[in-house]
Amino acid sequence: MTTEPASLENLRVLYQDDDYIVVDKHWDIRIDSKMWYEKLTVQAQLRHRFPQLVDTSTYYGFRFCHQLDFSTSGALCVALNKAAAGQAYRCFKDRTVTKAYLALLRGHVEKQTQTLDFSIGKNSTEGKTHMMCIEGTEGCENSKPCQTELMALEYGLYDGEPVTKVLLLPLTGRTHQLRVHCSAINHPIVGDFTYSSGADDGPYRMMLHAHLLYIPLEPQPLLVTSEDPFVPSLDPKWLPQHSLRTLTPTVEALLESRAEKDRKMKEEEQEKVKREENRKKCSKQPESEELSRQCQEWLSEWAGD
């Protein structure tokens, strides 16, 4: 981990196999760009580091499975072939992916565990069309429901001002969701220039980091974590004062909860398939009294659910 700006050479790889690469995206760098003058992107870093893996059938040479904002750092998954990209896409589409972000928020968040539930839409106000906004605010268009879970980890100071270190879990995936939700509860992310109307320009970066990425791929799920960059040894302006919960056990509990949810979903799907098979079997003429009895028994049980 470093506070140095991004360069073409300093791409950090967190995971690599034949199908995927997960990189530790630097802050203040775009994933890709069609602008000729933007030479430094994650795509350019990948081309520089892995020229042999460039896929000439794609525009950027690599298939990015998801997005991270220009100002956000952390775990970013890249598919190395079309089949791998398709499998990852289905996981994101079905919302079975788990992502957890670390952030420093302005002020001390009093409610230590909460679900932020604000619909978010595009801001149509002149000069703010690059921003998102909360439903009901001026210029907000096409808002959609969004939920984010927030868990406070530590209270402390950043450059002498009160801040809270939090873990953020987006349950939906809207543009700038975490930034807008934190701003909506009057605890904006430290260094978020855009959603502070340009006022929060002191820190060297926006303090939002993609810490954990879990994609339930088959047959082997992909689980990657990126180091916590918000530590005093890296940024002495951050001074923790009071710990509320530690990061590792919190993430482990999160993953256990996700695994239990996935298990129940699989059981429900298997039960659904079994019922459909029994329904088809019983819709046909029974071949014997025993089969007829079994069908009637099953139908009675099913009707009582």
Catalytic positions, written as ranges: 69
Distances from the Cα of 199 to the Cα of 25, 194, 196, 202, angstroms: 25, 9, 5, 8
Contact 216, 230 (CB under 8 A): no
Give the strand order in the sheet containing 140-144: 132-134, 120-123, 140-144
Burial 186-221 (b: 16+ CB within 10 A, else e): ebbbbbbebbbeeebeebebbbbbbbbbbbbbeeee
**Residue 175: burial class (beta carbons within 10 Å; 0-12, 13-18, 19+):** middle
The first and second tokens of residue 115, run together, are 């679900």
Q: Measuring CA to CA, which residue among 124, 263, 118, 244 is closest to residue 181?
A: 118
CA-CA distance, 214 to 229, in Å (whole number)? 19
Q: Which residues contact 265 (CB under 8 A, 6 or more apart)?
A: none
